[in-house]
Structure 1
């Protein structure tokens, strides 16, 4: 069963450009190194709020994503860029 993840990201004011660069670098690594990931894309709404849209083939692929070296290493890139913890939703894909 496919799993969708929507992460609402709380970016610190004035850090948007740095955040976008760091997130786009991470997204490129996810796409290149995680065959079970079908979508990993950064979006921004009209109010300037950031969302990460993710799609995985299985729950195991979601779990594997959390254990990847590139995700763990990216933590340092986001230090000082976030205004709070992300709000993460996991959804079962129906169709």
Structure 2
């Protein structure tokens, strides 16, 4: 937690910090670092990639459907123990050395 992460499946690679949701899932909280103008610019793009709450896609979009009411706009890591996020954070402070 607290290490740098980036939005996935989005046109722009917004930065955020890893945090645990109330349900114990690791999430990238990039959304809280965006200003109002940035949010307006990316809302449609995030919706297209599933990074924003899911919309009712009937002929007329009339209301928003939120499948998970906790952090619906965040990207969640389902199986973060097997992902490479922790490997990247572990290697942040190490330097690669090569033998000559």
Settle same-fold status: TM greater than 0.5: no
Higher relative contact order (CA 8 A, sep 6+): 1
The structure richer in strand per residue is: 1
Bigger Cα Rg: 2
The structure richer in helix per residue is: 1
